């Protein structure tokens, strides 16, 4: 029985045999991308360029163009929302 990442790596190698320049792979975390790269190495014996690999957070930031808010900014926004919610309850 093969793993999901092995199946994905095999699929990409079969369908993007001319290269991965038009391919982007998005994983839930960085750990998955490491295991995926290892699966690609196991299947493919020749040197290849890897596809663009992102975590979900990195991908959303890239396509949205937004920057990640700092912890202080997040707390300030949360406090403003809390104040507005408290006003509406009274």
Please report the pLDDT score of residue 56 as a whole number. 94
Please report the pLDDT score of residue 37 as a whole number. 93
pLDDT digits (tens, 9 = 90+) for 57-86: 999 999 998 888 899 999 999 999 999 999
What does the alpha-carbon distance between residue 66 and residue 1 come to, in Å, rounded to a whole number?
41
């Amino acid at each position: 029985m093969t793993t999901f990442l092995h199946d994905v790596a095999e699929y990409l190698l079969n369908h993007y045999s001319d290269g991965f320049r038009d391919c982007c792979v998005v994983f839930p975390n960085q750990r998955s991308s490491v295991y995926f790269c290892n699966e690609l190495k196991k299947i493919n014996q020749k040197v290849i360029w890897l596809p663009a690999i992102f975590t979900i957070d990195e991908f959303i930031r890239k396509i949205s163009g937004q920057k990640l808010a700092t912890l202080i900014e997040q707390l300030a926004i949360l406090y403003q929302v809390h104040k507005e919610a408290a006003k509406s309850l009274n």
